[in-house]
């Protein structure tokens, strides 16, 4: 099986043996590295709501429709179409949100990963209700997933960790994510030591790395219409299967 076949530089879904392998092949972290104060992005006229109008095709399950839409987004050349905003609530009930990468979509739900010691990990432990939000500008589409996050289990977490680069594994292992970094040299020192450890112990898995699955209660699909007659459909979990309602835009 070739994992290098692409459509316009993007991986073709049919070339992959499963959804996870396909999502993994989508390019990520394409932005330029460097100091944060450079802000080189070119501004331009914001051409909003560019998506094609038309009837929204409904599938039996929201995950099937999501995968159709993710495929369309890949083919439309959306950069990092697997990046999504994960929203959680903190101890005081205040919302918190950050981007992360979608790792898989299964019948169970939407998979992502991170560290259990991080604020998101602590928040999810306290209150597993969460939302994932996708925006695919070139396709004029948004998807909003709401539900409850479950621990994906040791096996999936370990596989996800081991698929990361050595440096990414080292950073994940030593990072006190989102705490104040008072001494950048300590960062360099700890990452270098962790790289050495992982080089000598390639099966090492950080105990705090976690694959999570957002099990959806509702999934809303928003399709832009250039004439502003946007289409919205919301799937809601029912006793058996899903109900689908169209929503006012």
Ligand X SMILES: Cc1cc2nc3c(=O)[nH]c(=O)nc-3n(C[C@H](O)[C@H](O)[C@H](O)COP(=O)(O)O)c2cc1C
Query: Between residues 53 and 83, which has the closer beta carbon with respect to ligand X?
Result: 83
Residue 34 to residues 38, 77, 213, Cα–Cα distance (Å): 8, 25, 32
Strand, coil or helix: 147: strand
Residue 213, token pair as written in the block: 């699955």
Find the angle CA(219)-CA(104)-CA(235) to the nearest 5 degrees.
10
Q: Measured from the CB atom, is 27 or 52 closer to ligand X?
A: 27
| Comparison of 101 and 190: residue with beta carbon closer to ligand X | 101
Among the candidate windows 11-19, 93-101, 160-168, 210-218, which touches ligand X by CB under 6 A? 93-101
Three-state DSSP at 165 gives: coil
Binding segment toward ligand X, per CB under 6 A, in 7-15, 53-61, 91-99, 218-226 = 91-99
Q: Which one among 99, 168, 186, 246 touches ligand X, defined by CB under 6 A?
A: 99
Q: Alpha carbon of 106 to those of 19, 23, 51, 120: distances in Å?
A: 8, 12, 26, 22
Query: Which single residue brings its beta carbon nearest to ligand X?
Result: 114
119 versus 128: smaller Cβ distance to ligand X: 119
Count, residues near ligand X per rule CB under 6 A = 15
Strands (E), the chain: 6-7, 10-11, 83-89, 95-101, 104-105, 110-115, 129-136, 141-151, 209-223, 231-237, 242-247
Residue 164 falls in which region: left (phi positive, over 0), alpha (psi -120 to 50) or beta: beta
DSSP one-letter code for 202: T
> CA 110 to CA 138: how far, in whole Å?
22
Q: Looking at 115-123, 181-189, 195-203, 223-231, which segment touches ligand X (CB under 6 A)?
A: 115-123
**Contact call for residue 157 and ligand X (CB under 6 A):** no
| For ligand X, the closer CB: 117 or 234 | 117
Window 168-227: residues binding ligand X (CB under 6 A): 177-178
Q: Of the ranges 61-69, 109-117, 137-145, 212-220, which one interacts with ligand X (CB under 6 A)?
A: 109-117
Least distance (Å) between residue 40 CB and ligand X: 16
Query: In the numeric block, which tokens belong to residue 203?
Result: 């099966």
Residues in region 47-86 near ligand X by CB under 6 A: 80, 83
99 or 126: whose CB is closer to ligand X? 99
Give the interface segment with ligand X, choosing from 55-63, 116-124, 204-212, 220-228 (CB under 6 A): 116-124
State the CB neighbour count (10 A cutoff) for residue 18: 10
Q: Which residues bind ligand X (CB under 6 A)?
A: 80, 83, 96, 98-101, 112-114, 118-120, 177-178
């Amino acid at each position: 099986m070739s994992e290098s076949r692409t459509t316009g530089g993007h991986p073709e879904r049919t070339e992959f043996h499963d959804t996870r392998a396909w999502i993994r092949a989508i390019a990520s972290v394409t932005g330029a590295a460097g100091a944060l104060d450079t802000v080189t992005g070119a501004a331009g006229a914001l051409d909003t709501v560019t998506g094609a109008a038309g009837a929204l095709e409904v599938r039996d399950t929201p995950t099937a429709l999501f995968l159709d839409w993710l495929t369309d987004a890949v083919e439309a050349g959306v950069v990092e179409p697997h990046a999504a905003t994960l929203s959680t609530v903190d101890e005081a009930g205040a919302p918190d949100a950050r981007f992360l990468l979608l790792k898989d979509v299964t019948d169970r739900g939407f998979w992502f990963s991170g560290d259990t010691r991080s604020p998101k990990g602590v928040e999810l432990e306290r209150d597993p209700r969460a939302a994932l939000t996708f925006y695919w500008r070139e396709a004029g589409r948004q998807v909003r997933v709401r539900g409850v996050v479950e621990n994906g289990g040791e096996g999936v977490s370990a596989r996800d960790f081991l698929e990361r680069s050595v440096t990414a594994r080292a950073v994940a292992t030593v990072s006190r994510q989102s705490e104040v970094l008072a001494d950048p040299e300590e960062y360099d020192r700890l990452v270098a030591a962790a790289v050495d450890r992982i080089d000598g112990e390639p099966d090492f898995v950080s105990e705090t790395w976690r694959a999570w699955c957002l099990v959806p209660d509702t999934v809303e699909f928003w399709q832009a219409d250039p004439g502003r007659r946007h289409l919205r459909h919301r799937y809601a979990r029912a006793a058996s299967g899903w109900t689908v309602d169209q929503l006012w835009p």
